[in-house]
Amino acid sequence: MAFSLPSHMARLSLFLPILGFAVGANGASSVTLAWKTNSEPDLAGYRLYFGRASHAYHQFVETSATTATISNLIEGTTYFFAATAYDTAGVESGFSTEVSYTVPGEVTAFLANVSSRAFVQTADLAMIGGFIITGDAPKKVALRAIGPSLANVGVSQALLDPNLEVVDSSGIVIGSNDDWRDGGGDLISYGLDPTDDRESGLITILPGGAYSAVVRGKDGTAGVALVELYDLDPGSGRVANISTRARAEVDDGALIGGFILGGTAPSSVLIRALGPSLAAAGISEPLLDPTLELYDVNGSLIFTNDNWRSDQESQIIDTALSPSDDREAAIVATLLPGAYSAVIRGANDATGVALFEVYDLIP
């Protein structure tokens, strides 16, 4: 049965200037918003929606007044707001004009989104994305495994039906998804719904610890896939380390790791490309001489390394995370918030299994 929005509710006209903000002693910020009153006799109340992405609201508050205060906002973060009105029958208007507000304060960059693209095969050659969550409070994250839609951006041999599993440090599968519409519908509210129904995704809340996202092809199929992690709650803990293990091929089959640094201030990171040392962990056919390139959002090459001791040996040693094999590659960089990608290939077009890692060096 279809409902049409009553005309008096559709005329909701909201005026949403920021009246003021307050910063509490604990560093949490709040903002108060106000709008014009609707005069309809069957008006029941208002809902103020908000989120950290434009038109992707994942929370709301209800009120019968024409003001609302949103508290515990993260300093240095931009929020987006829109309001609706609803009547006594529960019919809700469309959204008002959106407004945004950036909470004052400087926030050191954090790993807000990480992704890796590689050629996925079977058994040990599945793509395995590892990540570590730090902090005392559980963290909400979104995970996606993208395959078919990669063909739309010119990727050949895209994995046609990726399957996603989330595994904890003891090897127990704590979440899984095949087709995202079956159990991954919450992705829509964050604007993270995949464009192809065969792709996988889920939202989960995880306590601090080490986890892996494992991507395989359904029924043992192979192809290029993308695994992604989104931090949906940067105010609680942080994603301190991410890694992806997969086979690095040539051309479109190179191992490509992407990451987005959020916040408002620069952050130092260590990026590693491991290969030879994987043999000690029982990995067959490791990439014997990985090379590492780091690109900014414009596609400009900003750092490159082949053997880690050749460029930044002392800085890398100071991180206590230097690779164990001199043929492996590493880069230490202080980066502004934004999007970056790392490309791992084999020297002289060699192929093999490699491990891509990013460490957040914030103490």
What is the residue extent of each domain of the chain? 7-102, 110-360
Q: Which residues of 181-203 are buried (b: 16+ CB within 10 A; e: fewer)?
A: eeebebbeebebbbebebbbbbb
Q: Rounded to the nearest 5°, which phi and psi values hold at 24?
A: -80, 170
Q: Which residues contact 344 (CB under 8 A, 6 or more apart)?
A: 248, 254, 255, 256, 257, 273, 287, 290, 291, 292, 329, 354, 356
pLDDT at 352: 94
| CATH code for the structural domain at 7-102 | 2.60.40.10
Residue 355 DSSP SS3: strand
Residue 69 has pLDDT above 70, yes or no: yes
Work out the pLDDT band at 143, boundaries 50, 70, 90: very high
- pLDDT surpassing 70 at residue 216: yes
On average, the pLDDT of the chain sits at 83
Whether the pLDDT of residue 4 is over 90: the answer is: no
Average pLDDT over residues 352-359: 91
Tokens standing for 63? 């009120």
What is the reported pLDDT for 13? 40
- Mean pLDDT along residues 174-191: 87
Q: How far apart are CA 123 and CA 247, in angstroms?
A: 12
pLDDT at position 112 is: 67
How much is the average pLDDT of 345-358?
Answer: 93
Model confidence at 325, in pLDDT bands (50, 70, 90)? Answer: very high
More confident residue, 21 or 193: 193
φ/ψ region of 120 (left if φ > 0, alpha if ψ in -120 to 50, else beta) reads beta
pLDDT score of 74 more than 80: no
* Average of per-residue pLDDT across 82-105: 83
- Which has the minimum average pLDDT: 106-115, 230-239, 301-310? 106-115
Q: 149: Cβ–Cβ under 8 A, 6 or more apart, which residues?
A: 158, 194, 195, 196, 199
Confidence band for 36, pLDDT divided at 50, 70 and 90? confident
Question: Whole-model pTM?
Answer: 0.66
Q: Average pLDDT for residues 123-151, to the nearest whole number?
A: 88
With 0-12 CB in 10 A as exposed, 13-18 as middle and 19+ as buried, what is 78?
middle
CATH class of 110-360: mainly beta
